[in-house]
C-alpha cells in the first residue's frame, strides 16, 4: 500500500473528526481575532497569543463534555 493510499484511507475513516477540528479551529481563531480587534485593540500581542493558545484546552474541554453528554443520553 502506497503512502497516498494510506493517506486516503485515513482521511476517509476520520473525515468527521478532521472536519470538526477544522471548524473549531477556524471559529476559535475568528472569535479571538474579532474580540481583540473590536474590544481590546491596544492589548499586548502576548495576550492575543495566550488567548489563541487557550483554544487547546477549550477544544478538549468542549469535545470531552460533548462525549459525556452523548453517553448520558443513551
- Is there a contact between 43 and 36 (Cβ–Cβ < 8 Å)? yes
- In 14-54, where does DSSP find H-type helix? 15-38, 45-53
Which residue in this structure is represented by grid cell 480587534? 37
**pLDDT for res 47:** 96
The pLDDT of residue 3 is 87
Average pLDDT, the chain: 93
Q: If you count DSSP H runs as helices and E runs as strands, how many of each does the chain have, helices first?
A: 4, 0
**Average pLDDT estimate for 34-52:** 96
What does the radius of gyration of the chain's CA atoms come to, in whole angstroms? 17
Residue 49 has pLDDT above 90, yes or no: yes
Q: For residue 43, what is the enclosing H or E element?
A: none
Is the pTM for the entire model greater than 0.85?
no
Amino acid at each position: 500500500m502506497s503512502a497516498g493510499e494510506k493517506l486516503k484511507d485515513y482521511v476517509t475513516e476520520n473525515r468527521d473528526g478532521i472536519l470538526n477540528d477544522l471548524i473549531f479551529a477556524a471559529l476559535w481563531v475568528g472569535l479571538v481575532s474579532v474580540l481583540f480587534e473590536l474590544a481590546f485593540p491596544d492589548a499586548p500581542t502576548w495576550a492575543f497569543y495566550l488567548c489563541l493558545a487557550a483554544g487547546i484546552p477549550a477544544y478538549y474541554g468542549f469535545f470531552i463534555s460533548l462525549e459525556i453528554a452523548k453517553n448520558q443520553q443513551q
